[in-house]
Each structure stands twice: as structure tokens, then as C-alpha cells.
Structure 1
Amino acid sequence: MKKNKNKVCFITAVNDEVKYEECKFYINNLEIPEGIEIEFISIRKAKSITSAYNSAMNRTDARYKVYIHQDTFIINKRFIYEILDLFENRKIAMIGVAGGRGIDSTGIWSKCSKVITRVYDTGDPGYIHLLSYGDIDGKYEKVDIIDGLIMITQYDVKWREDIFKGWHFYDASQSREFINRGYEIIVPRQDNIWCIHDCGKVNMNMYEENRKIFVREYIKENI
């Protein structure tokens, strides 16, 4: 399918309609560059997030895709301008707002030797705090792995639904798939923070199972 460089597709796996409507509210209030088209694809009753994302990826001709959790709210109205500016560098394949460099043997991004994160978070219900870690020189910092709250791409790589059946480590896997192809993944400086992640308590079902799959597949020093 020929890719439309003038289209940005926002892709979400949905199981909470209220959260999703709020997510869309923020997107619909973004400033849209002239000539750019916005598209929404939502996947419901998905078997896994990897299968949801593959399904959506194959349904759109948009060059630029924003894989976004239903509880992630984009508050920087210049978001689209900023991602398109960053993607002028064709080596940059994927952008996130939370990630790290130097993956350890656990495969967990927050345990990287250098964590680089810029996002508002509501880990404690009703309380928003800024997670800001790691120095960013220039417009962005290259990372080895990003968190899946928002993953913005300009190229398509199949999500590994063949091995990741749940809702964890799909983001780590996709990060490694891009890097193994010679692309760069970044966290931008964000003079104005892009997102609020209203996640609350995270469902950890199948977390450890998927972590071990990630380690076996992508990390040399298996544990």
C-alpha cells in the first residue's frame, strides 16, 4: 500500500469508551498543519495489543501513525507540527516520551542504565506529577527502548503477535525490531510536555510471562 505522507493516523486498542472519548477530545483540539489529514482507528475486543496494532496498521495508508493508549491525553497543541519536524530526519523511525538507554538483563525499560522520560503521570489516582528524568542535549535523545503509552512511527514494522499474546512488552519488542533494522528511536526534549498518562493502577496480568519472552528473544544474556 502506497503511504500517504499527508496523513496522521491515531490507533488505539479500546476497552473503556469514556477514556477513549477523552483521548479523542484532546486529539481533536490539536493544531493541524495545512494539508494534513487526521484519521482515527480503534480496535475493540482485541486478543492482544500486538494483534490490534497489526490490524490497524494494515488498514491505513497513513505514513505517520500514533499508537496511543486510551488513557493518554495529548496536551501540547503543537504535537503534530513537532513530530513532523522530527521525522524530517529519515533515520528516526519511532518517537516516545518515556524510555531508556542501556537495557539490563531484566528487559524492563525503567531499569535501563539511563532513563529518559518526559510525561505527566497519574500513578496515584487524582494526583498528576511530572516524570522527568535524564538529560536531553539538542532536540532529542536516542534510546534503546520506549514505553507504549504513545509510540509514533513513520515506518511500518510488523508487531510480534506471533510471540506476544498479552498487553506487556509489545513496546519493548517493537523498539528492538526497529533498532535491529538500523533505525533510531528517540525521546524528544519537549519544551512543552506532550502527554498526560492517566494510567492509575496497571493490570499486570501476563507481565512476567511476556517479560521472559522478551528476554529470550532479544537479550543475549538470558536469565
Structure 2
Amino acid sequence: MDQRRMAFITCVNQEVLYQKSLKFINRLEVPEDIQIECIPIKNAPSLTKGYNKGMQQTQAKYKVYLHQDVSILHKGFIKDIVTLFQMHEEIGMLGVIGARTLPSDGVWWKTYHGAGKVYDNHSGKMGMINFQDDKKSIEHVACVDGLLMATQYDLPWQEKLFDGWHFYDISQCFDFQKAGYKVAVPYQHMPWCVHDCGIVNLDGYDHYRKIFLKNFLKTQ
């Protein structure tokens, strides 16, 4: 595993969106001791399969799994992610927004205990979603949203259970914690990312929610 390398892994089925995301990655400040690589996975049958394929294509210790419609605004993103991971070896995954406690129905955004912030237009209008506690430099969470998930350890994604486009992220967060790692959201002065997703297609969401509840919350 190359501790001086960070890979940005993205499942791509709309090249225009990915090229925009790539432009923002290419504008990030890259520390002298870090190399970056971008790995597009074209037309993956699911996010889990795509991310497992991307994971196998790189020796980078630090991996950033992000949606093709995400733009990273924070120029110091690479340095900050690497620094946080080096300071906190117990943290396996970082995200930009999530939930400190997961509701019993598995729908993270219904939480009363959110964390982080992001620019997002899932309602049809761009705006800031802000759950951040400004008093904390980093918040441990139950899960982060899959728009961006950065890791410093590798665990396989649950491609047999989640062979679509939902709950790949929450299940991965739970798998990291089951393996003994923490999941966290860092402090952001301003949102680090824009998630230009538009109104979200929730087809299949309830199907995978029930799979998640059966396999991950049965003993919670």
C-alpha cells in the first residue's frame, strides 16, 4: 500500500458530469509528498461493484470514493484528509455529511443528530445543508452520505447484498465500525463539496433499506 498516494474513484455513466468533477479535482492543492490518481469506472452495474473494481486497480493507501456529480471546492482537501487520517489511525472513513445516530428505519437524513455540511440541490434548488457543530473539529458518526467517502483502510463493498444504487454507503460505514474503525466528519468552515444531484431518484430505495435493516440492524 502506497502511503504517498491518493486515488479518486468514481463510477461514471455521464461523461459530462465526470469531466466537471475532474476539473475540480485537478484544481486541488497537492502536497509535494503525495501523488494523486483518478480512476473512472465506466458503466458499473452497481456502485459496490464499481468501487470494488476501483479499489483493486490502485495501491493508494488513501481512497476517495465520490459521485460523478460532486465537485470538491476545498483546495486544501488532500492535505486535510491525509493529515486527519495520520493523526487519527482509529478513523477508517471520513465523509462530509452524515448522522451521529441512525434512525431505526435506516434513513440517515431523518436523524435528529446530524453532522457536517454540503451544498446540495436534491430538492430542485441549490442550498446548504448544515448539521455541523462548530465547537467540534471532528465528529464521530454512525454513517456518512455516499456523495464522498474517503478511506485509509480497505474493506470490500457489499456487492452481493447491495447490487443497485442505495445503502452501499450506510452498509460500508457499519462494516468499517464492525471491523473496529471509526467513521467521522471533519469540521468545515465552508462546505468542502457541491453535490449537484438534482431531485434524487429513489427507485429501489425501500428494497435496499429493508435489506439493510435485516442484515445490519437486526442486532442493534
Shorter-chain TM range is over 0.9
The corresponding residue for 1:96 is 95
The corresponding residue for 2:218 is 220
Structure 1 position 221, deviation (Å)? 6.7
TM-score using structure 2 length? 0.96
Contact map agreement 1:6 1:63 (CA 8 A) in 2: yes
After superposition, what is the alpha-carbon deviation per residue over 1:92-135, rounded to whole angstroms, capped at 9, x for unaligned? 1101111102212211111224111311112244x421111142
- What SS class does the counterpart of residue 36 from structure 2 fall into? strand
TM-score using structure 1 length? 0.94
Cα distance in structure 2, aligned partners of 1:199 and 1:23? 12
Match among 173, 176, 189 for residue 175 of structure 1: 173
Contact map agreement 2:92 2:151 (CA 8 A) in 1: yes
Cα distance in structure 2, aligned partners of 1:60 and 1:102? 33
- What SS class does the counterpart of residue 121 from structure 2 fall into? strand
Contact map agreement 1:101 1:114 (CA 8 A) in 2: yes
Contact map agreement 2:116 2:186 (CA 8 A) in 1: no
The corresponding residue for 1:154 is 152
The corresponding residue for 1:135 is 133
Structure 1 position 138, deviation (Å)? 2.9
Contact map agreement 1:105 1:221 (CA 8 A) in 2: no
Contact map agreement 2:132 2:187 (CA 8 A) in 1: no
The corresponding residue for 2:33 is 35
Cα distance in structure 1, aligned partners of 2:81 and 2:132? 20
Stretches of structure 2 that go unaligned for 5 or more consecutive residues are none
The number of aligned residues is 219
| Percent pairwise identity | 44
Are 1:190 and 2:188 an aligned pair?
yes
Cα distance in structure 2, aligned partners of 1:70 and 1:12? 6
- What SS class does the counterpart of residue 152 from structure 1 fall into? strand
Cα distance in structure 1, aligned partners of 2:2 and 2:101? 34
The corresponding residue for 1:210 is 208
Cα distance in structure 2, aligned partners of 1:178 and 1:123? 27
The corresponding residue for 2:121 is 122
Structure 1 position 182, deviation (Å)? 1.3
Cα distance in structure 2, aligned partners of 1:117 and 1:170? 20
The runs of at least 4 consecutive aligned structure 1 residues that moved more than 6 Å come to: none
Cα distance in structure 2, aligned partners of 1:112 and 1:123? 17
RMSD: 1.4
Cα distance in structure 2, aligned partners of 1:97 and 1:143? 11
Structure 1 position 32, deviation (Å)? 0.3
Cα distance in structure 1, aligned partners of 2:219 and 2:157? 23
Cα distance in structure 2, aligned partners of 1:138 and 1:148? 22
